[in-house]
Amino acid sequence: MMRTSLLLLFALALSWGAAGIGHAGESGEIECLKSSAFFAGPDSPDHFKYAPERDADILHLALDVTPDFTNRTIGGTTRITFKPLVKPLEELKLDAVDLTVSRVESSEPITAYQVTGEKLVVTFAQPIPPDREAWVEVTHSAEPTEGIYFRTPEMGYLDGDTHLFSQGEETEARHWFPCFDSPNDKFTSEVTCHVPTGMTVISNGRLVSETEDTATGLKAVHWSQETPHSSYLITLAAGYFKKLEDRQGDTPLAFFTPPSEFEEAGNSFRDTKDVMAFFEQEIGVPFPWVKYDQVCVNDFVAGGMENTSATTLTDSTLFTEATENIRDSDSLISHEMAHQWFGDLVTCKDWSHIWLNEGFATYYESLYNGQKNGRDAMLYEFYGRARMITGMSDDVNSIVRRNYDNTSEMFGYLAYPKGSWVLRMLRAQLGDELFRRCIKTYLERHHHANVTTEDLRAVIEELSGNSYDQFFDQWLYHAHHPELEVRYSWDEKTKLARISIQQTQKLSDRVLLFNFPWTIRFKGKFGTEDRALHVKQKEEDFYFPLESAPEIVRLDPDYTLLAKVNFDPPGAMLDAELADSTDVLGRLLAVEQLAGKQSREGVEKLKRALNSDACFGVRLESAKALRGIHSEPALEALLDSTNQPDARVREQVYAAIAGFYDPKSRAAQLAMLAREKNPAIQSIAIRELGTYPEMDRAVLTQYLNSTSYRNSLASAAISAIRAQDDPAWIKPLQQNLLQRGADYPSREFARGLSTVAYLGRDQPDRSATEEFLLGYTGSKKRPVRLGAIEALGELGDPRASAALEKFALAREGTPEQTAAARAREAIENFRRPVEGLSNLQKEFLDLQKENRDLRKDFDALQKKFDALGQKPAGGKKSPSPVKTSKQPSTS
Ligand SMILES: [Zn+2]
């Protein structure tokens, strides 16, 4: 899965791709709520998570459903075939949340069934003996808030685009059909869905039939997944879709979008065939399923979800050619496709091993990047990830761990980018050929089954003949990475290069001293010499005899170690590195060093790199470095470098210029706006112009009311309006949102609401703004509804608090409790005490404590008196030794 909550994080990781990774949608919000509701302390047994026990082996699940698009409900039957495992089975327990169950039948006599909030429990008259095949058939219906998501005109989506989609990962399947809803069981499945005749149904596996029923006017579409997979990978997408088709070898490929978005489908679909061909050759195992469909849906709850043979994608991955190479869908397409092997064919046994899904998908995504865009582009991607990982604060969790509160915690930077880095390091140690053989064996040995990290280690040890205990222990079962302080010196008399390496990471029972092979490359008149070393001490010196002093000392030239390295080579060495066309990493590191130097000479070097380096990544980093230096010459260098044919670099140069609050910067953005055609770059100028008070209101109004793909220019205008912070914008913005609301993606629209609130926050009369925002708290688009609630919090009008209170009360304990929690948060936000008030509170708390201490003393005294058979003076048993005249203010 690709999540939106990671989007911001990965945006920092330079070239993670523009596809938008994600899970900040509906289910993500629910997870947040779960974490606060079920927080278990680190010592609690609930804090440790294991795969659930299995009493029965599920063999097959057949789902037959009919959605009601008007009432947004779904009902039907689920027939589950199973065999008891080991012991006679008295009860079959299935996961089922918020399902109405009207009937349960079985091949075995049953005495009763119970529906609890979380489970459906079927009790058999006689225990079913192990290995006897049996079935239960459940008739159920649901008005789901998870698991199935409707997108209909009543909710504000386009009429001709009506559709629904499912989301299984991590534990949503149980919200629309009963099942064993954990990854550690695999079974075959079939889905039959009854829809109006003009609609399309997409599901896992092979299309068996499409039959029309004249009585109901519906058609039944029957799909069959004939090799086993886990419940979270069962999918259903149904509605109005248009389709593109292709073929890779014998595998049919299809790409679906809602009809109104079909024009852009080809842009995102175009590399699918190429990705599959590359993966089949690289992985060495043919694509494991009978077909591969990709379906774009509105307001998806993630960036992408790798359902078996039928991936769901966010429609925000679609893009127009106008954005040039700034946007593509390659990283998303390749990530989800890689999951078809890693995640779907072999599946982590439980979420503690989720890196076996996500780390692999992220790693193979990069391999495809390398295949398509060259090795330098791939190295730049790993460079970005390494900077992100080594820049994380509080990095004390291991990749594989059981001490988490909710599963969504596991879908973070440890599983994705760090997981991909672990595979990169493994490959470096094993070599390409052996690495490939290990991965192929791992897939072949465990196909259609579950895996743990130990299964991978076992294959690697078997094929390499080596122990990988330490590698797995330090990188997967312990946290962090080496932090290295490296110093270099040359002794001309002995012709020895000395390299001192110190591991400075804070050691604990979670973070070890690392043990790793490393290479140092010396370049000079003598040519290129690679010297291998093994780092395992906290501090160690290494000596290397060379013919003459090296011109370049490059640590880890093949980039095989995830580490934070502090190494400051002499200036002449940096120049040589920056000029080395064979070594993109060396050039990136040289740019990083120059970024920390304020000299004019350094600026000149960065400017040269920005305009002439062969790798776009080095050009991007040079622009960022100039922005970071933030001197007059740095701005001049950027202003001289706007003529960039590569749109990604042009975008970065203008973003860097926008970092300077300067009339020259403003003039450059205006000039760009007049000639630039790329909306992604135009948006930078529009946003930045908002930060200047002399911004021409007419220009901003023009962009606010402009028409562009996904309304991106109007969204940029909203950012500018926010920066202007002028209440005069409230009315025109409200009007724009009212009239053009349907043109915005839901989250951009929600940002518009937030901006209205922000502009109105200090107005003496906020009632009209409040009323405007309250109108959207009933929106059927969840991002809009939640955006409106947050905006009301931002508005900070105490009268809005009453409305929010009512809103929360009506929803608590219902499936809408996420919205209720947001409302409570919003209320809290504007109840947060002002500074003076909090001092008063502190004073009160201090007095309370003093009071308690005095009471303790008094009690002790009283006991002594009692023991002596005396009463204290006054004889009162509940004295109030301190009276406070100050009371905390509770507004
Ligand atoms: Zn993924």
Amino acid at 418: K
The per-residue DSSP string of 464-479 comes to: H-S--HHHHIIIIISB
How far, CA to CA in Å, does 589 sit from each of 16, 105, 609, 618, 686?
19, 67, 12, 9, 33
Determine the distance separating the centroid of ligand 1 and the alpha carbon of 360, expressed in angstroms: 9
Query: How do residues 172-222 score in pLDDT, each as one tens digit?
Result: 999 999 999 999 999 999 999 999 999 999 999 999 999 999 889 999 999
Q: Which pairing describes strands 292-297 and 251-257: parallel, antiparallel, or unpaired?
A: parallel
Query: How far is the centre of ligand 1, averaged over its atoms, from the C-alpha of 865 (Å)?
Result: 71
Q: How far is the CA of 251 from the centre of ligand 1 (A)?
A: 22
Centre of ligand 1 to C-alpha 228, Å, is: 20
How far, in Å, CA of 307 to CA of 795, rounded?
A: 41
Residue type, 600: R
Alpha-carbon separation of residue 141 from 69, 722, 740 (angstroms): 14, 45, 36
Determine the Cα angle at 574 with ends 573 and 577, to 5°. Answer: 90
The answer to whether the beta carbons of residues 647 and 616 sit under 8 Å apart is: no
Please say whether the dihedral angle defined by the alpha carbons of residues 557, 562, 567 and 572, taken in this order, is positive or negative: positive
Give yes or no for residue 883 having a pLDDT over 50: no
How far does the centroid of ligand 1 lie from the alpha carbon of residue 304, in Å?
7
The conformation of residue 778, written as its DSSP 8-state character, comes to T
- Please give the distance, rounded to the nearest whole angstrom, from the Cα atom of residue 305 to the centre of ligand 1: 7
- Residue whose C-alpha is closest to residue 539's, from 482, 468, 479: 482
Shortest CA distance to 478 belongs to which of 531, 515, 504?
Answer: 515
Q: Judge whether 317 and 329 are in contact, CB under 8 Å.
A: yes
Distance (angstroms) between ligand 1 centre and the Cα of 386 equals 19
Q: How far is the CA of 22 from the centre of ligand 1 (A)?
A: 9
Chain position carrying tokens 């090296």: 550
Residue 509 alpha carbon to ligand 1 centre in Å: 30
Distance, CA of 394 to CA of 144 (rounded, Å): 37
Tell me, in angstroms, the distance from the centre of ligand 1 to residue 288's CA.
17
What residue type is 214 in one-letter code?
T
CA of 361 to the centre of ligand 1 (A): 6
CA of 308 to the centre of ligand 1 (A): 13
Q: Give residue 336 CA to ligand 1 midpoint distance, Å.
A: 6
Average pLDDT over the chain, rounded to whole?
90
CA 461 to chain centre: 32
Q: Are 291 and 327 in contact (CB under 8 A)?
A: no
| Nearest one of 39, 146, 131, 133 to 95, comparing CA atoms | 146
In eight-state DSSP terms, residue 834 is P
Q: What separation in Å is there between the alpha carbon of 787 and the centre of ligand 1? A: 27
537 CA to centre of ligand 1 in angstroms: 36
Task: Compute the distance from residue 441 Cα to the ligand 1 centre, in Å.
Answer: 22
- Determine contact, residues 487/465, Cβ cutoff 8 Å: no
CA 703, 704, 705, 710 torsion-angle sign? positive
Q: At residue 528, what is the residue type? A: T
Under 8 Å between Cβ of 553 and 488: yes
Q: Give bridge partners of residue 91 from the DSSP assignment.
A: 123
Distance (angstroms) between ligand 1 centre and the Cα of 303 equals 9
pLDDT in tens, 602-649: 999 999 999 999 999 999 999 999 999 999 999 999 999 999 999 999
328 CA → ligand 1 middle, Å: 17
Q: Give the model confidence (pLDDT) of 310-356 as tens digits.
A: 999 999 999 999 999 999 999 999 999 999 999 999 999 999 999 99
Distance 335 CA to ligand 1 centre (A): 6
User: If pLDDT is split at 50, 70 and 90, which confidence band does 597 have?
Assistant: confident
Q: Identify the H or E element spanning 368.
A: helix 355-373
Please tell me the least confidently modeled range out of 63-67, 275-279, 798-802, 858-862: 858-862
* CA of 827 relative to ligand 1 center, distance in Å: 35
Higher pLDDT, 41 or 410: 410
User: What distance in angstroms lies between residue 352's CA and the mean position of ligand 1's atoms?
Assistant: 15
> Measured between alpha carbons, how far is 434 from 323 in angstroms, rounded to an integer?
41
Give the C-alpha distances (Å, rounded to integers) separating 725 from 469, 698, 730, 757, 763: 58, 16, 10, 11, 12
Tokens of 409: 């915690």
From ligand 1's centre to the CA of 859, what distance in Å? 62
Alpha-carbon torsion (91, 92, 95, 97), positive or negative: negative
Identify the residue whose tokens are 């507004």.
891
Judge whether residue 39 has pLDDT over 80.
no
Could you give the CA distance from residue 835 to residue 840 in angstroms, rounded to a whole number? Answer: 9
For residue 26, report the distance from its CA to the centre of ligand 1, in Å: 18
d(CA 540, CA 499): 8
Report CA(476)–ligand 1 centroid distance (Å).
18
Q: What separation in angstroms does the CA of 304 have from each of 20, 237, 273, 278?
A: 9, 13, 18, 20
How would residue 849 be classed by pLDDT, with cut points 50, 70 and 90?
Answer: low
Structure tokens at 452: 């743990």
Q: Is the pLDDT of residue 819 over 90?
A: no
Q: Convert the pLDDT of each residue in 774-783 to its tens digit.
A: 999 999 999 9
User: Does an H or E element contain 405, and which?
Assistant: none
From ligand 1's centre to the CA of 345, what distance in Å? 14
Tell me, rounded to whole angstroms, the distance of Cα 742 from its chain centroid.
Answer: 26
User: How far is ligand 1, taken at its centre, from the CA of residue 2, in Å?
Assistant: 5
Q: Which residues contact 591 (CB under 8 A, 6 or more apart)?
A: 578, 606, 609, 618, 621, 622, 625
- Quote the ligand 1 centre to 355 CA distance (angstroms): 9
DSSP annotation of 690 reads T
Tokens describing residue 262: 């079909």
Separation of CA 131 and ligand 1 centre (Å): 36
**Cα(647)–Cα(60) distance, integer angstroms:** 51
For residue 249, report the distance from its CA to the centre of ligand 1, in Å: 25
Q: Which residues pair with 842 in a beta bridge?
A: none
Note the pLDDT of residue 797: 76
Rounded Cα–Cα distance for residues 132 and 534 (Å): 57
- Confidence at residue 181, expressed as pLDDT on a 0 to 100 scale: 97
> Residue 864: what pLDDT?
57
| R_g over Cα of the chain | 31
The dihedral sign for the CA sequence 220, 225, 226, 230: negative
Query: Mean pLDDT throughout 790-805?
Result: 82
For the cut 60, the answer to whether the pLDDT of residue 880 exceeds it is no
**CA atoms of 739 and 774, how far apart (whole Å):** 17
pLDDT for the residue 834: 41
CA distance 468 to 475: 11
CA of 339 to the centre of ligand 1 (A): 7
Tokens of 770: 């409040």
Q: What is residue 31's predicted lDDT score, i.e. its pLDDT?
A: 30
Which pLDDT band, with edges at 50, 70 and 90, does 800 fall under?
A: confident
Using the mean position of ligand 1's atoms as its centre, give its distance from the Cα of residue 670 in Å. 40
For 232-270, write each residue's pLDDT tens digit.
Answer: 999 999 999 999 999 999 999 999 999 999 999 999 999
Residue-level pLDDT at 52: 93
Q: What is the pTM of this model?
A: 0.88
Alpha helices per DSSP H over 596-690: 600-612, 616-629, 632-639, 647-658, 663-675, 679-689
365 Cα–ligand 1 center, Å:
10
**Residues near ion ligand 1 (Cβ under 5 Å):** 1, 358, 361
**Structure-token match 């399309």, residue found:** 200
Distance 354 CA to ligand 1 centre (A): 9
Cα of 668 vs centre of ligand 1, distance in Å, is 40
Closest of 710, 715, 21, 10 to residue 300, by C-alpha: 21
**Rounded to the nearest whole angstrom, what is the distance from the C-alpha of residue 300 to the centroid of ligand 1?**
14
pLDDT in tens, 508-554: 999 999 999 999 999 999 999 999 999 999 999 999 999 999 999 99
Ligand 1 centroid, distance to 363 Cα (angstroms)? 10
How many CB atoms within 10 Å of residue 775?
12
Which two three-digit tokens encode residue 33?
A: 């709520």
Question: Ligand 1 centre from 28 Cα, in Å?
Answer: 15
pLDDT of residue 24: 32
| Count of alpha carbons within 13 angstroms of residue 587, beta-carbon side | 26
Ligand 1 center to 342 CA (angstroms): 9
Question: In one letter, which amino acid is 722?
Answer: R
Q: CA–CA separation, 857 vs 82, rounded Å? A: 68
Q: What is the pLDDT of residue 677?
A: 97
C-alpha span between 387 and 402 (Å, rounded): 26
Q: Cβ distance 414 to 355 under 8 Å? A: yes
Which residues share a beta bridge with 531?
Answer: 520
d(CA 92, CA 174): 15
3-state secondary structure of 212: strand
Q: How far, in Å, CA of 420 to CA of 783, rounded? A: 31
d(CA 611, ligand 1 centre) in Å: 36
- Sheet bearing 242-248, strands edge to edge: 242-248, 251-257, 292-297, 310-314, 304-305
pLDDT at position 830 is: 62
Q: Return the pLDDT at 818.
A: 72
- Mean of the pLDDT values across residues 789-807? 82
CA distance to 713, 720, 861, 877, per residue, from 880 (Å): 66, 58, 15, 10
CA gap 538, 612 in Å, rounded: 41
Residue 37 has pLDDT above 90, yes or no: no
Percent of the chain residues past pLDDT 90, beyond the cut: 81
